[in-house]
Structure 1
Amino acid sequence: MDMTGVPLREPTFLVLTALAAEPQHGYSVLEDVRRISDNRVRLQAGTLYGILDRLRVDGLIEVDREEVVASRLRRYYRLTVPGRDLLSAETDRLHRNAAAADRRLRQLRLATDTAA
């Protein structure tokens, strides 16, 4: 699926951002998303695994490795090149939008200050 023109939802953006650092397993991604977002985004396990499954099907992440810990399978995920490229494009888009908003806010402040 070509998602390059589609803005990412914040949870998806944060999951990709977490995986940009290094391959991680699900619980580690949950904690990293919480840290990255300064506790604003706290994904539930079901939500996270839905995002991971969709990203994997779309070829944006892949399984890095699996291991068994305390009789449970732990699957590590990593970004693929298309995943990295999508995250980079989305980061650029967000920067451009923030810069445009900042310019408009400065104009508004100037107009408000001169009117007062």
Structure 2
Amino acid sequence: MAARPRHGYGILRDVEEISGGRVRLRAGTLYTALDRLSSDAWVVIDREEVVDSRLRRYYRLTDLGAARLATEVERMRANTRVAEQRLRARPIGGTT
């Protein structure tokens, strides 16, 4: 969704692929999150279409959402740097 609009099932598949299969969102969890992101104006419905008699809604990241995502990415990078520093400072052969 960050790169282009995605429908719910596409988002579920992306999350599973990106996580190497470690994360499998349930549809209810995803749509609850999308509702929250939409109410925060971080995503919007880009378009809707009917496929096999079912409504398919495509979501798009807004500029505000992209800015928030960039902030979150930087926060995660900072956390990663701290973790790397702590690992380097760990004594070799330390206890578990």
TM-score for both structures, normalised by structure 2: 0.92
Deviation at 1:88, TM superposition (A): 0.4
Q: How many residues align?
A: 93
Q: Which runs of 5+ in 1 are unaligned?
A: 1-18
Q: 2:40 aligns with which of 40, 58, 68?
A: 58
In the alignment, the residues of structure 2 paired with residue 24 and residue 112 of structure 1 have an alpha-carbon distance, to the nearest angstrom, of: 46
In the alignment, the residues of structure 1 paired with residue 49 and residue 67 of structure 2 have an alpha-carbon distance, to the nearest angstrom, of: 28
Q: 2:92 aligned with 1:112, yes or no?
A: yes
Aligned match of 2:26: 44
- Aligned AA (2:56): R
RMSD of Structure 2 on Structure 1 (CA): 1.0
Aligned match of 1:92: 74
Q: Which runs of 5+ in 2 are unaligned?
A: none
In the alignment, the residues of structure 1 paired with residue 10 and residue 34 of structure 2 have an alpha-carbon distance, to the nearest angstrom, of: 13
TM-score for both structures, normalised by structure 1: 0.77
**Structure 1 segments of 4+ aligned residues over 4 angstroms from their partners:** none
Which digits, 9 at most, give the CA deviation of each residue in 1:43-91, with x for residues without a partner? 0111111011110011000000000111111000000011101110000
Aligned match of 2:17: 35
Q: Per residue, is there more helix in 1 or in 2?
A: 1
